[in-house]
Amino acid sequence: MAQMIRRWFASLFLIVLVALGVRAGFAYNQIRKIPEQFIGIVPFQTETGHIAYSLASGKGFASPFQRDTGPTAWLAPVYPLLVAAIFKLFGIYTPASFLVAALLNIAFSAGTCIPVFSAGKRVGGLTAASLASWLWALFPNAILIPFEWIWDTSLAALLAATILWLTFRVAESDRWRDWVAYGLLWGFALMTNPALLSLSPVLLGWLIWRVRPKSRIYLRKPAIAVALAFLCCVPWTLRNFVTFHRFIPFRSNLSYELYIGNNENYDERHRGLPPVITQDRETLRYLRMGEMAFMDEEQRKALLFIKAHPLMELKLFAWRFVDFWIGVADPWATFLRTDSLLVRVILLGNLASALGALLGMVALFLERNIYAVPLAAFPVVFPFLYYVTHTSLRYRHPIDPVVLLLTAIAIHYIWVRFVPRSTEATADAVPVRC
């Protein structure tokens, strides 16, 4: 029986199957609560849905607020194009389109178990890999986000985990095919969620350091990977330059995101103050000014606020740090105030995984594990963009697979160090040292 349980625990097929089941079950439960006339409309009332509507209607990559405002670079192109293809096949703003989009997100999320398992096996052995995959399969955020957000969030989580796994693989590979695939994967990821670019200096630097002793021409393969990733972005960048006469390699809306989190009038932290500026009013300004002029104005106002309120910026930075990792800026008050069990589970899950990731990083560096630096880059480097702009529950999600992998490593490390065990049980617990 013990051997059977161990086989089930380490069965990637079973883990993926469970991940699919719990996500599909949550979606089914939620769909039953939503009136049918809303199910195909409300989930697409976002920039993603509006741009996809414009694409499917033959108006091009345009109008992030659905009104005809002309071309946009508000989002990277991959996911809006995917939703537009769904609209073409299953109808614009139909229940069928929503179900297909949600099922794709569920497939992306459940499929993330595979690179998590593969990366975890390299770092900590079969036990750590299995535990990390189970944690991801049952993580509350990973269950609800594929249904709640028709956005690139679940796909970005899959891409981030795959980038990590392939980084480990190409570090040990002399095959050009692997390096070409690595570059193409990076290009596709940047055209899906450009925030992943923040990880590239650390991962590429680590790769160069790893392959350096193997050859005098060790830079050739990393250079090819970088060139391919760059080439994947060129068509979109050229389109933006021709359309807007500006260099916009990924997205145009960074200024707006900066303004949302750095503005005394329109900031979610200042709920007690009467808002002088509302989101609807900002949208109207966008419609009147056009995208580039609007972004220039948002950047100017945000930078003026940052310069004029340095102490407030420190407070906002701290609040956003807590918000990013726990899900709200005032977790204790929210935990006590809410009567929702789901909200409390999410808060506790976020806190536990954040602490687990910290312990996992400590364990890796104590063991001098060769994979410590690329793993640590995800929770250390990636969030800084959101610390200085603004946060949301879904913004952390692309790195959640790695956060849970680090949590599994921490649990495994503690178990191996402090729980009595047999020689057989520790067969996969030998750390990989530098």
Q: Specify the 3-state DSSP secondary structure of 243.
A: helix
d(CA 301, CA 290): 17
d(CA 51, CA 63): 6
Instruction: Give the per-residue pLDDT at 426.
Output: 46
Burial label for 126, CB within 10 Å (0-12, 13-18, 19+), is: middle
Q: How many residues does the chain have?
A: 434
DSSP 334: H
237 near 278, Cβ under 8 Å?
no
Q: Is the pTM of this model over 0.75?
A: yes
| Four-CA torsion 112, 116, 118, 123, nearest 10 degrees | 170
- Token output for 147: 């249904």
Instruction: Give the per-residue pLDDT at 23.
Output: 97
Of 74, 104, 72, nearest to 87 by C-alpha is 104
**Cβ neighbours around 225 below 10 Å, total:** 25
**Cβ neighbours around 387 below 10 Å, total:** 17
Instruction: Give the per-residue pLDDT at 433.
Output: 52
Ramachandran quadrant class, 58 (left: phi over 0; alpha: psi -120 to 50; beta: rest): left
The values of phi and psi at residue 68, to 5°, are -75, 95
* Domain boundaries defined on the chain: 2-267+274-426
How many helices and strands (H and E) does the chain possess? 22, 0
Encode the chain (434 residues) as per-residue pLDDT tens digits: 677 777 888 899 999 999 999 999 999 999 988 888 888 888 899 999 999 999 999 999 999 987 888 899 999 999 999 999 999 999 999 999 999 999 999 999 999 999 999 999 999 999 999 999 999 999 999 999 999 999 999 999 999 999 999 999 999 888 889 999 999 999 999 999 999 999 999 999 999 998 876 656 668 889 999 999 999 999 999 999 999 999 999 999 999 999 888 886 644 444 433 344 455 677 788 888 889 999 999 999 999 999 988 888 888 899 999 999 999 889 999 999 999 999 999 999 999 999 999 999 999 999 999 999 999 999 999 999 999 998 988 999 999 999 999 999 999 999 888 776 654 444 454 445 54
Q: Specify the 3-state DSSP secondary structure of 369.
A: strand
